[in-house]
Amino acid sequence: MERASLIITSNLRRAMETSNLISKRSSENCKICVLDFVREKALYISDVPCLSKEEIIKNYPKADISFLPDTNFKDYIVLPEDHEQVDQRIQQFINFIKNYQDLENNEIVLVSHYYFLKRLLKGIFIEILIISTLIKLIN
């Protein structure tokens, strides 16, 4: 992770804390990109403890919040979130990666959550992810 130049993280507190720790061990130019669509599956309102933009700016100055919507995730999520909703967020993530500038020059770390990662790596999404610019095995 010392070579990471881009960390993609959800805006849940525990992911932000992990991303911050990783960035301290990464290159000086390492950027933290905060995306609400890489968050955990939401079953109840208590599962949606995301940080506000103001909290992120205050506590994580390296974080780029420009990709966060103006609307809070809590305001538009339909609970409980089903597989299709999570799959839509996975597609948003894939589209983000495909359209991200200078991707080939970045070593990316994704800090997400169990259910999101499980769905991401399962089924049809595994075919999309086997792209050399996305997966690098670090031994």
Domains located in the chain, CATH noted = 6-129 (3.40.50.1240)
Contact 9, 16 (CB under 8 A): yes
Structure tokens at 57: 């700016």
Structure tokens at 138: 């670090």
Q: 15 - beta bridge partners?
A: none
Question: pLDDT tens digits for 99-128?
Answer: 877 665 668 889 998 888 888 888 555 555
Question: pLDDT tens digits for 22-48?
Answer: 998 888 888 899 998 898 877 655 545
Which residues are CB-neighbours of 131 under 8 A, at least 6 positions away?
none
Contact 52, 72 (CB under 8 A): yes
What is the model's pLDDT at position 7? 92
CA–CA gap between residue 133 and residue 103 (Å, rounded): 7
Question: What is the identity of the amino acid at 37?
Answer: F
